[in-house]
Amino acid sequence: MSTNSDGKKTEQLGGVEAAATRKPPLETDELRRGLQRFFRETFHESETGTKPVGSFKWGVYAFYDYDGEPIYVGQTKEKLSGRVSRHLTNQRTDAVAMSVLDPFEVADIEVWPLPEFEGVGSKHPDFKTAKAHLDALEHMIFTRLRKQSSFGAILNEKDPPAPTVEIAEPPSFRGTILNNQIRELRGHPDSRLARRALTVSKLAQVISERELKGLGLRRVLLAQATRMRWLAEKRFIALGGEAGVEVGSEDEDEAADSE
């Protein structure tokens, strides 16, 4: 180890840099904090008590983008906090790994817990009943949100199976996972367009490299491309549209440079 002053200075700076890089990037760190805040929120399990949102083991969840558009619906038989966090913080779910879902496009989460099935496990005699209710709830939420979507589409690769039981929609809890700083940083339309274009490109590559059994991924690609076009058009018009396009020869600047 060097003992001169320059060497000590370099070592100290290296230590500071190493400590700084141990922390995840700001956006990633804030996403995790936002998820933790959301799942600590309390939800009325019954008239006599509450539980943290993330502690429920049976339920349906939905993701919404910065425009309030529903973009994904799923179900879980494990803790909501575990299932949703895997979607949004790493690559261990098919939806993220195949670029069906961009975690950084998720602004709000809504969950529909089914507290009446909390104690039901895979070997419980009521498991099939609970699963039928869960499937029916996912179908109900998926169908309703797709109708409410401005694009008539949600980024699910598959449609939920048809329900086999009749249910009533239970109470839900919806909240944001972004603070104001991250919403402003990540929600800028040009940043969203860049991410959307990357997602479309990566999804198209996945499709080109796989032998697909159905049209689910191609439907997602169409939905992503439609959403990207809408966002690009909205941004273009907001900045002035056709009236703001400059007039001149395409090669004018190159010709001036060559003189």
pTM of structure: 0.84
Q: How far is CA 16 from CA 1, 2, 21, in A?
A: 18, 18, 9
> Does a structural domain hold residue 166?
yes
pLDDT of residue 147: 97
Do residues 30 and 178 touch, judged by C-beta distance below 8 A? yes
pLDDT of residue 89: 75
> Does a structural domain hold residue 6?
no
Q: Which range is least confidently modeled, 25-39, 118-132, 137-151, 166-180? A: 25-39
**Per 3-state DSSP, what percentage of the chain is helix, strand, and coil (rounded to 5)?**
55, 10, 35
pLDDT of residue 210: 85
Name the more confident of 215 and 89. 215
> Does a structural domain hold residue 63?
yes
Q: Where in the chain does DSSP place strands (E)?
A: 42-46, 49-52, 59-64, 70-76, 108-113, 173-176
> Does a structural domain hold residue 99?
yes
pLDDT of residue 180: 86
| Domain that residue 101 falls in | 24-179
> Does a structural domain hold residue 200?
no
* Structural domain count, the chain: 1
In this structure, what are the phi and psi dihedrals at residue 135, rounded to the nearest 5 degrees? -65, -40
Who contacts 150 (Cβ-Cβ below 8 Å, separation ≥6)? 69, 230
| pLDDT at residue 70 tops 80 | yes
pLDDT of residue 27: 72
> Does a structural domain hold residue 192?
no
> Does a structural domain hold residue 167?
yes
> Does a structural domain hold residue 98?
yes
